[in-house]
Amino acid sequence: MKTDRRAEGAPRGIWQLAALAAALAALAAASCGPKETAVCGEEEHLVVVPSTSETDYDVSLELTPKVTDQAVARVARSCGLLTVGILDGRPDANLALDQEKLKPRDEDERRARPGKVTEDLIEKGDEFVQSQLIVPLEEHGENGGSPFLAGLAKIGGEVESQGWLLPTVVLIGDGLVVEPSPDDGEMINLGKEEVDPKRLDGFVDMLRELEGACVILVGAGATSEIPGRRIRASQDAMEKVLGEAGVEFVAVRSPIVPAGC
């Protein structure tokens, strides 16, 4: 009996067409993916807070513009959140945090013009930082005290109460803690004295709302003339307290902000 070759070829042709369609769909998906991720990666929340103590103020004026340039770029690329504030001697009363969401409103435009959208988000972030941080910092002046730990606790409380994304907190200053102990109210000065670690225990519970966050100190040691061992001891004490609260910590002297902890 004769075989109808057209009938034999039909199923094979259908499978070939199906395979071609699948390949084209995969290619289309691959070509679309990078355009979206080029603008919006994994969402980041950066909090930038310079200190205005007598030993920190000049360093904060110098480093804050360099730090915020990096923060704005990172947040814009991730379509995330940028929060800023100024740390003075009374963070519980005075540390007000302002926030800007750097996310494109038009999703179709984001896909079609990723490079331009990122540029627009960076421009928006720069304007926010200039008005809400750079200018107010220049007008602020110096103050007494360096309550870095209480300042971080205040930031954690805001993150919790506002329901914000867990942040990377960038503190700008020397990191030499000068603030009252939460237990007895006596001053702690990590740059000048040996401190019983137990006197810092009261900060641990205060910092728990930042559990899982990353804290980066930029300007560590700053222009301080105290011995290097005291600078290191202060940073070690901060790392220990934050670590007990579940917060990661890294300190750098340069204005280059590490990618994380």
For residue range 93-117, what is the model confidence (pLDDT) as tens digits?
999 999 999 988 765 455 656 678 8
Residue 18 in this model has a pLDDT that exceeds 90 = no
SS3 content of the chain, % helix, strand, coil (to 5): 50, 15, 30
Does residue 49 register a pLDDT over 90?
yes
Average pLDDT for 158-186: 93
pLDDT of residue 112: 58
Closest-CA residue to 173 (of 152, 199, 201, 157)? 152
Q: Which 3-state string (H, E, C) describes 167-219?
A: CEEEEECCCCCEEECCCCCCEEECCCCCCCHHHHHHHHHHCHHHCCCEEEEEC
pLDDT averaged over every residue in the chain: 84
- Rounded mean pLDDT, 197-221: 94
Identify which of 28, 82, 5, 85 has the alpha carbon closest to the alpha carbon of residue 52: 85
Kindly state whether residue 257 falls inside one of the protein's structural domains.
Answer: no
My answer on whether 123 and 31 are in the same domain is: no
85 and 139 together in one domain: yes
- 147 shares its domain with 176: yes
In a domain, 97, yes or no: yes
Residues 138 and 22 in one domain: no
Q: State whether 32 and 113 are in the same domain.
A: no
What CA–CA distance (Å, rounded) separates 218 from 63?
A: 8
Distances (CA, A) of 68 to 10, 20, 176: 64, 49, 22
Q: What is the pLDDT of residue 107?
A: 59
- Confidence band for 225, pLDDT divided at 50, 70 and 90: confident
State the greatest distance between any 2 C-alpha atoms of the chain, in Å, as a whole number.
105
| In the predicted structure, residue 215 carries a pLDDT above the cut 60 | yes
| Tens digits of residue pLDDT in 114-130 | 678 889 999 999 999 99
- 32 and 55 in a single domain? The answer is no
Tell me which of 136 and 28 has the higher pLDDT. Answer: 136
Helix (H) or strand (E) holding 148: helix 148-162
Is the residue at 61 inside a domain? yes
What would the mean pLDDT of 153-173 be, rounded to a whole number? 96
User: In the prediction, which pLDDT does 39 show?
Assistant: 63
Angle at CA of residue 219, ends 213 and 221, nearest 5°: 110
pTM of the predicted structure, to 2 decimals: 0.81
The average pLDDT across 236-253 equals: 95
pLDDT at 235 over 80: yes
Residue 51, phi then psi, degrees to nearest 5: -95, 150
pLDDT band at 206 (very low <50, low <70, confident <90, very high): very high
Q: Tokens standing for 83?
A: 């929060």
User: How many structural domains is the chain composed of?
Assistant: 2
Instruction: Look at residue 234 and tell me if it is in a domain.
Output: yes
Cα(39)–Cα(76) distance, integer angstroms: 8
Is 261 within a domain? no
Same domain for 3 and 86?
no
The residue segments making up the domain with residue 61 are: 40-252
At 138 the pLDDT is: 97
Average pLDDT over residues 145-169: 96
Task: Name which residue leads in pLDDT, 152 or 199.
Answer: 152
Among residues 47, 111, 44, the alpha carbon closest in space to that of 85 is found at 47
Residue 147 belongs to domain with CATH number: 3.40.50
Does one domain contain both 31 and 112? no
Q: Where are the alpha helices (DSSP H) in 79-147?
A: 91-94, 107-112, 114-129, 135-140
Q: Establish if 258 belongs to a structural domain.
A: no
Angstrom distance (rounded) from CA 217 to CA 257: 9
The confidence band for 16, taking pLDDT boundaries of 50, 70 and 90, is very low
Whether 51 is in a domain gets the answer yes
**Both 4 and 50 in a single domain?**
no
DSSP state of 84: E
* Position 260 in a domain: no
70 pLDDT band (50/70/90 cuts)? very high
Residue 232 tokens, joined: 């290191």
- In the chain, pLDDT over 70 holds for what percent of residues? 81
Is there a single domain that holds both residue 77 and residue 14? no
